[in-house]
Structure 1
Amino acid sequence: MALETNRPPYRADHVGSLLRPQRLKEARADWKAANISDKELRKVEDEEISRIVEEQKNAGLRAVTDGEFRRGWWHFDFFEGLDGVKGYNTESGIQFQQQQTKSRAVKVNGTLDFTSHPMLEHFTYLQKTAGDYTAKMTIPSPSMLHFRGDIDEDIYPDKKLFFADLASTYKKAIEAFYESGCRYLQLDDTSWAYFCSEEQLSKIKERGEDPEELKSWYVSTINEAVADRPKDMKITMHICRGNFRSTWISSGGYEPVAEILFEKLQVDGFFLEYDSDRAGGFEPLRFVNRSDLQIVLGLVTSKFGQLEKKEDIIKRIDEASRYVDINQLCLSPQCGFASTEEGNLLNEKEQFSKLRHVVDISNHVWGEALPMD
């Protein structure tokens, strides 16, 4: 059996977001109502992040996140920190299966750029709290600003100019996070799963978009953004089918996007959702032909608290290894536990039971974890 990898993604890993504790939810509500100051909110955030980082360490994880505790959304908060992007409330939220989010959207109303960003400071605090563990930062993929954003055509009359500025903006962001000490960055992206769904493909076409053209734009933009990253910085991508209050948006296996993702996208690893039949089989993994590409199998669901049978997960890892060398495989929950601040339908105890389950199964399959570097 192969031993634990010494670089991210790790054999036992996780996507990033964690359930917001009630104390934090109350503090954020008080802050929005102007009942407490920025400083008072920050104190609660710091304390809860420090606590949750220790919980991740105790669960046996080698990479820790801040749980996205300073955010309301996994994507909009980051976008609103970019130059040329403004957040606003909409008439309705994003529609999931029998659930709808609160209203929010972003508009590109100026020239895109990255000059400063509050999440750089957020990462600095996480790294200090992480200590000898790897501090993992999660941000939305550049694709998502185009996919979810309203783009002012007076600012960007054609896609070529928009995607060039988008790639440049993210290149600067990656450089800034690296200079802040980040060595493990994850790009979260739902667009690729939408390309796998007949229902969502129809909606993309109704918007007047060509899905094949979008795939090409997204790959070239991401590749340009990550092209100059230092060798000691690992960048992964999480492909998500939607995650809100334990519901989802898209269904469909990875076959329609597997070749372009695994052969052309120049990231170091993929977090793939494989917790339900909606994800299809492992056959698309046959397009993984890079020996340095890690595939993190999201076989443990983050949507519900019941633990999967250990032997079932081990069997599925074995099935995936028929297409990808087992030394290139890792294990994680299929998504975060709280892509928005509302969180999924389980409690914190169940959440950490899930993460310990991932670590336990990982140790069984790949051997005991090596000590920290």
Structure 2
Amino acid sequence: MAQRTNPPFRADHVGSLLRPAALLEARDRHARGELPDDALRAAEDDAIRDVVTLQEGLGLQTATDGEFRRTSWHMDFIYQLQGVSRTDEQLEVKMRNASGGTSFTSAALKVDGKLGVGDAIFGDAFTFLQSVVTTGTPKLTIPSPSMVHYRGGAAALDPAVYPDEDEFWTDLSAAYADEVAKIAALGCTYLQLDDTSLAYLNDPAQRAQLAEQGRDAEHQHERYIRQINAAIGGRPDSLHVTTHMCRGNYRSSWAAEGGYDFVAEALFTQLDVDGFFLEYDDARSGSFEPLRFVPPGKQVVLGLVTSKSPQLESKDDLKRRIDEAARYVPLEQLCLSPQCGFSSTVEGNDLTQDEEIAKLALIVEVAQEVWG
């Protein structure tokens, strides 16, 4: 079977990678006022050069900057949207892990102005990544439009600015469409929209929580799909867009559980992306049966290798699970990746860089053996 030349690739990864110790130290010194902005930028540049070399050396066809310039995979982007402000309110996000549970607090957001984009968000970061990639396709990851809405819903909208939620959605998709156009103009050919909301909505507990807030939990995913399509509908043919649907990833913990059954039919048949990165690393991910809705021409990147623990999967187990998935969607439409990033926040998951490298190398080896 031929190697893929367009994203997503047979051996791929979600985006974030563990921050090296030198970069974490530089960030700490910068936060204490001991390191100027330009010195932090230089430390980030050095770390990104190294991690791109690492990815290319492993044989991956794509490279990210590991999200090394970010503290959070999504909020660093969202707070740069015009019209979005950080508030003093602290939201507690409850997470679960193999040991029981944990939580973290995050600043809330308020949409208190008209939404828009100035310069391309993460544009400078992508341009630098593009300059240091030598053999692969540079990939940029950004949060999907749904992430601006999911936590706060209509309650986060200033009624003086957006008395009508439909107007908010129109402006949000237009802002994202502007961002997509600007990123494409920089030469980006691989853009990934990271989205927890479409995965969270498969969890009955998450839907019950939204219903208690007065939201239409049974149909919210349909609205999200429409708005994402509006955001990416005008992209040039050269720009390949994927989405990653995550159930939460913070220090090896997660927030939601359940298979993709609730959103599957609408998601796979209506969302206008080129590929779907799906978490399938353990029992909480559900079965492969929802993949029966994936139409021809769409790629499914099976997240069979966990980024949440250091244990290395066996090749035989991975191949067996790929065969199981191929019962529902043809093998040529499948790819392989970790189930999520290794460091969605700056803290990272509970494994070492060597263990991360072993998992990425395993993905490349299995992909070569399965697809050639």
TM-score with structure 2 setting the length? 0.96
Aligned to 1:26: 25
**Which of residues 116, 119, 124 in structure 1 aligns to 2:122?**
119
CA distance in 2, matches of 1:347, 1:93: 27
SS of residue in 1 equivalent to 2:106: coil
Is 1:136–1:184's contact at 8 Å kept on the other side of the alignment? yes
Corresponding residue for 2:359?
354
Residue in 1 aligned with 2:193?
187
Is the aligned partner of 1:44 residue 2:43?
yes
Q: What is aligned with 1:371?
A: none
Which residue, out of 159, 170, 177, partners 1:171? 177
1:286 aligned partner, one-letter code = R
Relative to structure 1, the CA distance from residue 279 to residue 314 in structure 2 (aligned partners, 3 Å threshold; closer, same or farther) is same
Residues 216-243 of structure 1: CA deviation (Å, up to 9, x unaligned):
2211111111111111110000000101
Q: Secondary structure at the match of 2:122?
A: helix
Distance 1:298 1:355 in 2: 12
Give the conservation status (yes or no) of the 8 Å contact 1:63–1:136.
Answer: yes
Distance in 2 separating the partners of 1:27 and 1:275: 33
Task: Report the secondary structure of 1:236's partner residue.
Answer: strand
Summarize deviations over 1:148-199 as a string: whole Å, max 9, x none. 3532222111211010001100000000100111100000000111111011
1:267 maps to 273
> Taking every aligned residue pair, what percent have the same amino acid on both sides?
48
> What is the identity, as a one-letter code, of the residue corresponding to 1:115?
G
- Is the CA contact (8 Å cut-off) linking 2:91 and 2:108 kept in structure 1? no
Distance 1:24 1:86 in 2: 28
What 5-or-longer segments of structure 2 have no aligned partner? Answer: none
Find the counterpart in structure 2 of residue 138 from structure 1: 141
Counterpart of 1:87, as a letter, is R
Partner AA of 1:146 in structure 2: H
1:332-371 aligned at under 5 Å gives the runs 332-367=337-372
The one-letter amino acid of 2:133's match is A
Q: Secondary structure at the match of 1:69?
A: coil
CA RMSD of aligned residues (A): 1.2
* 1:191-202 equivalences in 2 (<5 Å): 191-202=197-208
User: Any stretches of 5+ residues in structure 1 without a counterpart?
Assistant: 368-373
Q: Which residue of 1 aligns with 2:320?
A: 315
* Cα distance change on mapping 1:117 and 1:86 into 2, 3 Å: farther
Paired residues of 1:76 and 1:87 also in contact (CA < 8 A): no
Instruction: Specify whether residues 322 and 240 from structure 1 end up closer, same or farther in structure 2 by C-alpha distance, changes over 3 A only.
Output: same
Question: Which digits, 9 at most, give the CA deviation of each residue in 1:38-84, with x for residues without a partner?
Answer: 10110000000100111111111110000000000000000111111
- Equivalences for residues 81-160 of structure 1 within 5 A: 81-97=80-96, 98-149=101-152, 150-160=156-166
Distance across 1 between alignment mates of 2:111 and 2:28: 27
Per-residue CA shift, 1:323-350, capped at 9, x if unaligned? 1010000000000000100100001010
Which residue of structure 2 lines up, in the alignment, with residue 240 of structure 1?
Answer: 246
Work out the CA distance in 2 between the residues paired with 1:55 and 1:322: 34
Length, aligned pairs only: 365
Contact 2:121 2:179 survives alignment (8 Å):
no
Q: Distance in 1 between matches of 2:73 and 2:352?
A: 19
Instruction: Give the AA of the match of 2:204.
Output: E
- Within 2, Cα distance between the matches of 1:139 and 1:89? 24
TM-score, normalisation: structure 1? 0.96
Secondary structure, in 3 states, of the residue corresponding to 1:94?
A: strand
Q: Is 1:295 paired with 2:294?
A: no
Answer with 348-357 or 78-87: which moved more: 78-87
Structure 1: distance between partners of 2:297 and 2:121: 33
Question: 1:90, 1:342 → 2: CA distance?
Answer: 22
Q: Which amino acid is 1:109 matched to?
A: D
CA separation of 1:147/1:316 partners in 2, compared to 1, >3 Å: closer, same or farther? same
Which of residues 237, 249, 262 is equivalent to 2:255?
Answer: 249
Runs of 4+ in 1 over 4 A off after TM superposition: none
Cα distance change of structure 1 residues 132 and 57 upon mapping to structure 2, 3 Å threshold:
closer
Counterparts of 1:212 and 1:321 in 2: how far apart (Å)? 29
